[in-house]
Amino acid sequence: MLGTSRKMGESVLRSRFFWYLPEVTSIRASMKPRILVDQDIPGAVDIFSGFGEVQPVPGHDIDARAVRHADVLVVRSITRVDASLLAGSSVGFVGTATAGLDHMDIDFLTASGIAWASAPGANAESVVEYVLATIAVIASRRSASLHRKTLGIIGCGDVGERLAVRAESIGMRVLRNDPPRADREGADAFVELNRLLPKCDIISIHVPLVRSGMHPTEMLVGPRAFGLIRSSAWLIQTSRGGTMDEVWAARARTDGRLDALVLDVFAGEPHPDPAIVEAADVATGHIAGYSRDAKRNGLLMIRDALERYLGLGTPSSSAGGNHQGVLKRPLDSRGQPVPVHDPSWLDMVLRQVIDVRSDDTRFRRVVASSNPVEGFHAYRANYPARYSWSRYAAWPDATGEEVGRLCALGFTIGEEADVSGQVV
């Protein structure tokens, strides 16, 4: 695991990524490698075209025949990278523009001397923004204030820790559960799972799918856990299918033993159980981390690793992000400003930059369609453009209280905003 930092506009993105780069590469820097990329990764052709000949291919068409003569392969999570795909090919480097490695046979790649790289943390901000947006939707529907509500975060890595900081900054209490971190850093800052669950108003899961070892996460939130969760709790699952028992979650929601259920990942992808989707208050198809910025961040991290693999030295600098627009002040039906602490205020702000309701509606149509598997992949491949909140500015005459809350959420403050207030 190595570290890199790269400047993006006014901010600096600090990312950690895993890679394996054998000492002897299969391609000399003076040669132009043949690069096969998943065509549904936005910007991949432009980012990698400077290295060699780039061939974009639909993700579902990336098979042994397609990769046989490729030197470099860049994929998404829909492509299983193992011996059946790469045996007999000329591939010497595989990059996955994703945080997870469930689709990569790392043992095979390492044993075969094939370099690989992934991008954990690249989509962390995007997932955090999705989680906060779904919390805002539920809060608006329930007319519930988030102030001093207790958020339990299961897994405090790149995503979970950022969520914790953001939630605390808008006045929520946070309980952290992360056994691996507790082992490394001491247990004082963390809460055991069976103690955390009964104390939380909202629970959000952010763990990788780990099937063995000291801290397995497969079915981590299962029948026993559901016996500890409050019936008034909201449960949000954006990590990996298989880390939570979806059947129990759906049953708990249907029976009134959960007050709200948000699902973005499913064990049955790309064909989730329609009954489980129906039980959820918000259901989307694995798009929590799908902002344009997240995808670009992932590609830039893979590009860095490829540059090192090819012996090209220092990674290239990236282009900064572009400003996307100015937010509008939330107004009620009479055209009056909605107070910051009104349960609908946060939802009205966030709906301008991430429309979870539309994502949910489109996904339910996919699940109910005659070809849900094809629809699932099309839903993700054609997901509408979504950008980081830092690309949006507050309305010019924002009050101090509005500025404080918007800053805490990660928005930019315009020159005319009143910056004298504080979030209370």
The residues annotated with a catalytic role in the active site are 240, 269, 286
Q: CB-based contacts of 209: which residues, under 8 Å, 6+ apart?
A: 100, 102, 217, 218, 239, 240, 241, 242, 243
Name the pairing type of β-strands 93-96 and 115-117: parallel
Rg (CA), the chain: 22
| CA 310/CA 195 separation, integer angstroms | 49
DSSP classification of residue 13: E
Tokens of 171: 């006045």
Q: Check if the beta carbon of residue 190 is closer than 8 Å to that of residue 241.
A: no
User: In which residue are the tokens 């996460």 written?
Assistant: 217
Span between the terminal Cα atoms of the chain, in Å: 39
Tracing tokens 């953001």 back to the chain, one arrives at: 166
State how far the Cα of 131 lies from the Cα of 316, in Å rounded to an integer.
32
Residue pair 191/177 in contact by the 8 Å Cβ criterion: yes
Total count of residues recorded for the chain: 424
Sign of CA dihedral 190, 193, 194, 198: positive
CB 316 within 8 A of CB 309: no
Query: By three-state DSSP, how is residue 152 classified?
Result: strand
